[in-house]
Amino acid sequence: MKKLFLILAGLTALFLAYATYLALKVAPTDALQGDVYRIIYYHVPSAWTAFLLFFINFIASVQYLARTKASLQKAVQWVVIAIGVIGVIATFLPQVQALLPTGMRPSAVATTVLAIPAFYFLLGWKFPGDRMDMLALTAAEVGVVFCTIVLVTGPIWARPVWGIWWAPGDIRLTSTLVLWLIYVSYLVLRRFSNSAQTQIIAAALAVFGALDVPLVYFSIWFFRTQHPQPVIGGGGSMDPRMLHTLLISWMAFLCFAFLVCWSRFRLELLKREAEQAEAMESLVGAGTAAKASVPLSRSAR
């Protein structure tokens, strides 16, 4: 396992180096922004990766909550299947298509809707029992790291292009900051609460927190913001070499995120093993102390 991880880490490092080479050398310079636009190759893939990780956290949290009751688990499964089927059919109805923002492809919406049941059943199959909660925690933590990068690189890009670091009140920027704060609160709750209900409360928080993800994503489609309008799937145009570089960068960051999640998940496994071992030890210690106290109490009688 360790060998496989090292091989994958080496390959990912090469892939990231190649993506950075494409971003800095191969992709053409933007006519309006100059070289600074190349921040897009780190900023946008980081945002997409963060969204994907928060989506995984959402699915894992729903799964975890559903597993608390067998009847609830069955009901949620049917709801998820219904979302997939109805969602896909609905996106191809002309009445629904008329509601979609200009440039948004129905096929893209259908794929996104289909991802909900696909991820739900795949994760449910791959992460039994308490491992689902570990996955939720892992996805949230790594997602926060990627979201932090979005919030740091965004203002660095905005300063030379807009002339300001931050546009107060801008819905895209504000909703992204709120998203980051929600998941930081989730992590703080996980870190400092000792209640037996922590995992359930955190899962519920994650389910509500995930509602901010579509708001962040669609804010530039529905509202007038300082942030640029979408250039992919939004009716905008992009040089094919730029698009190619952007997709390669995203793939490289996805591979990197996968490895980081792998490490974090293994760390969580080890942590819970240590906690179990410690609990066992104190139980054995308490048992030995009780045994030792029996003759004492007898002799006292």
Partner 1 sequence: MNSFKFLVAAYVATWLIHTFYIGTLFSRYRRLRQSLKELGKRK
Q: Which is nearer to partner 1, 112 or 263 (CB)?
A: 263
Give the 3-state secondary structure of residue 233: coil
Least distance (Å) from partner 1 to the CB of residue 166?
14
Would you state the structure tokens that stand for residue 198, as one six-digit string?
A: 């922590």
Least distance (Å) from partner 1 to the CB of residue 287?
14
Q: Which is nearer to partner 1, 46 or 199 (CB)?
A: 46
Residues 6+ apart with CB under 8 A from 70: none
Q: How far apart are CA 298 and CA 290, in angstroms?
A: 12
Q: How far apart are CA 61 and CA 84, in angstroms?
A: 18
Count of positions (residues) in the chain: 301
Least distance (Å) from partner 1 to the CB of residue 261?
11
Note whether 62 and 288 are within 8 A (CB). no
Alpha-carbon torsion 173, 50, 59, 204, what sign? negative
Q: Which is nearer to partner 1, 86 or 280 (CB)?
A: 280
Q: Site residues (CB under 8 A) for partner 1?
A: 20, 33-36, 38-39, 42-43, 46, 145, 148-149, 152-153, 156-157, 159-161, 256, 260, 263-264, 267, 270-271, 273-274, 277-278, 281
Least distance (Å) from partner 1 to the CB of residue 184?
14
Q: Which is nearer to partner 1, 73 or 263 (CB)?
A: 263
For residue 237, CA distances in Å to 109, 211, 223, 241 come to: 19, 29, 20, 12
Looking at residue 7, its amino acid is I
Question: 64: closest CA among 187, 265, 202, 186?
Answer: 202
Q: Tell me which DSSP letter residue 230 carries.
A: P
Least distance (Å) from partner 1 to the CB of residue 146?
9
Residue spans of beta strands (DSSP E) within 110-269: none
Q: Which is nearer to partner 1, 80 or 260 (CB)?
A: 260
Residue spans of beta strands (DSSP E) within 66-112: none
Q: Which is nearer to partner 1, 85 or 269 (CB)?
A: 269
Least distance (Å) from partner 1 to the CB of residue 301?
33
Would you state the structure tokens that stand for residue 81, as one six-digit string?
A: 């299947």
Q: How far apart are CA 177 and CA 171, in angstroms?
A: 10
Helix 70-91 × helix 106-126 angle, to 10° = 160
Looking at residue 236, its amino acid is G
Q: How far apart are CA 242 and CA 234, in angstroms?
A: 16
Q: Which is nearer to partner 1, 119 or 256 (CB)?
A: 256
Least distance (Å) from partner 1 to the CB of residue 73?
32
Q: Which is nearer to partner 1, 12 or 199 (CB)?
A: 12
Q: Tell me which DSSP letter residue 160 carries.
A: H
Least distance (Å) from partner 1 to the CB of residue 51?
17
